[in-house]
Amino acid sequence: MIKNKNNLFISILIIIGIIAVISSYVLVNKQYESYLNTYNSTIYSIVGTIKAKYPNISNKELIDILNGSEEYKNVGEEILSNYGISIDDETILKLEDVHNKNVIYICIITAIFVIIIITLAFIYRYYQYRQINKIIRYIREINKKNYELKIKENNEDSFSNLRNELYKITLMLKEQTENLEKDKIRLADSLSDISHQIKTPLTSISIMLDELKENPDMEEETKNKFIYEISRQAGHISFLIIVLLKLSKLDAGAIEFNNEKYFLDKLVKESINRLEIPIEIKNIKIIEKIEKTEIIGDYNWTLEAITNILKNCIEHTKEGKNIYITINDKNIFTELIIRDEGEGISEKDLKHIFERFYKGKNSDENSFGIGLSLAKSILEKQNASITCTSKINEGTTFKIRWIKTK
């Protein structure tokens, strides 16, 4: 089955052309046979007539007469003209009727082929016109933001290929539109969360500043407490703004990650060193099972991601408990596992653990709920993956994997 209508149309024209050539060849041969038959029939009649009138004539003399001679040509022509017979009008051989019939046949067949070709050309032109109009209607609907068009086709002609490309564009535009709508919702939610996160410490700062202004004779101890709290809340705002700027840059693709080799075990040890004070305060023991492993990525950004994850584990681990850190170097991937012995995360909260500003039931009151979200964004931007599993009263496990590429 020919799917390509252009090729089908060309094939039909070629077939018609071949048929026309064959038909012309047949007609020419037919005409030749007709002329030959008429000519031979006339010769036979002449021979028979001569033999009947001149029975004593020999066959050799008869053949000589038929073959004729150039010297007698003018004499014969003169004799015939005396009887009103002209060699030009083919009266002798009676070929005029045969010739006229063959001309009529050729004209009829030629006319049929011309009509067929014109009809096919018209049909194909009409088909093109319809397809172009369909495509124009599709484009108009797309301009109206109607992306629910099902215009994909299985044929392989030029118009079908064009429609299929339009279908792909339609799906892409539909997906972009849906993503834009989702982005608008996320942006609105983020702005609301940011507003809430900043508003709370600002309100506290404002209240404490008013108290300081209205009570100039406030006790020194209380005043120092207010100043300390104002400083702490300002630090929270500063931290929040810095993290939000990082997230915004990640979302906008404005950060270029380095693509260099570094040792993951070294990065993990540096992350532990950064959190040495909270680890000592809570008397947490870090149990390492790590080997020297090399991966490719951005050292500093990955360090921030791992530090945020480890910090989350420390915050949710009770005093005197353990945190286990393991590095597995497999053939296909390198895996980092961080497991704590904390209170665990409920199934309801676990679904949202990587969402921005989400704070579970057991979250610290000073937490902004964006550390894990930032870590996930950093890792995924470097083609790494992170998953989390947890059981209440048993602890939480984070698994980060870097797929090896050759």
pLDDT in tens, 272-297: 998 998 899 999 999 999 888 999 99
Mean pLDDT of the chain: 78
Model pLDDT, residue 151: 58
Query: Among 211, 232, 252, which residue terminates a domain?
Result: 252
Model pLDDT, residue 3: 47
Is the pLDDT at 186 greater than 70, yes or no?
Answer: no
Same domain, 299 and 365: yes
Buried-exposed string 189-214: b where 16+ CB fall within 10 A, e elsewhere: ebeebbeebeeebeebbeebeeeeee
Same domain, 312 and 279: yes
Same domain, 271 and 217: no
Same domain, 284 and 384: yes
Model pLDDT, residue 359: 66
Task: Confirm if 362 and 343 have CB atoms less than 8 A apart.
Answer: yes
- DSSP labels, 218-283: --HHHHHHHHHHHHHHHHHHHHHHHHHHHHHHHHHT------EEEEHHHHHHHHHHHTHHHHHHTT
Which phi and psi angles does 367 have, rounded to 5°?
-75, 145
Q: How confident is the model at residue 84 (pLDDT cuts 50, 70, 90)?
A: low
> Any idea what DSSP says for residue 88?
G
CATH code, 209: 1.10.287.130
**Alpha-carbon gap, residue 310 to 356, rounded angstroms:** 18
Same domain, 266 and 396: yes
Q: How confident is the model at residue 323 (pLDDT cuts 50, 70, 90)?
A: very high
Same domain, 19 and 85: yes
Q: Which residue has the higher pLDDT, 357 or 312?
A: 312
Q: How confident is the model at residue 56 (pLDDT cuts 50, 70, 90)?
A: confident
CA distances to 35, 90, 97, 304 from 100, in Å: 12, 12, 5, 99
pTM of the model: 0.53
Residue 283 falls in which region: left (phi positive, over 0), alpha (psi -120 to 50) or beta: left
Number of independent structural domains in the chain = 3
Of the candidates 242, 299, 307, the residue with the CA atom closest to the CA atom of residue 272: 307
**Which of 94-108, 148-162, 313-327: highest mean pLDDT?**
313-327
Same domain, 238 and 340: no
Is the pLDDT at 201 greater than 60, yes or no?
Answer: yes
Structure tokens of 68?
């004729």
Q: Which domain holds residue 63?
A: 5-143
Same domain, 210 and 272: no
Same domain, 67 and 139: yes
Model pLDDT, residue 193: 64
**Alpha-carbon gap, residue 288 to 42, rounded angstroms:** 119
Q: 57-61, 89-93, 188-192, 261-265: which has the minimum mean pLDDT?
A: 89-93
Same domain, 63 and 82: yes
Residue 156 lies in a domain: no
Query: Among 219, 252, 285, which residue terminates a domain?
Result: 252
Same domain, 264 and 385: yes
pLDDT digits (tens, 9 = 90+) for 112-147: 877 887 887 778 778 777 877 777 777 777 777 665
Residue 73 lies in a domain: yes
CATH code, 363: 3.30.565.10
Same domain, 227 and 266: no
Is the pLDDT at 89 greater than 60, yes or no?
Answer: no
Query: Among 233, 252, 271, which residue terminates a domain?
Result: 252
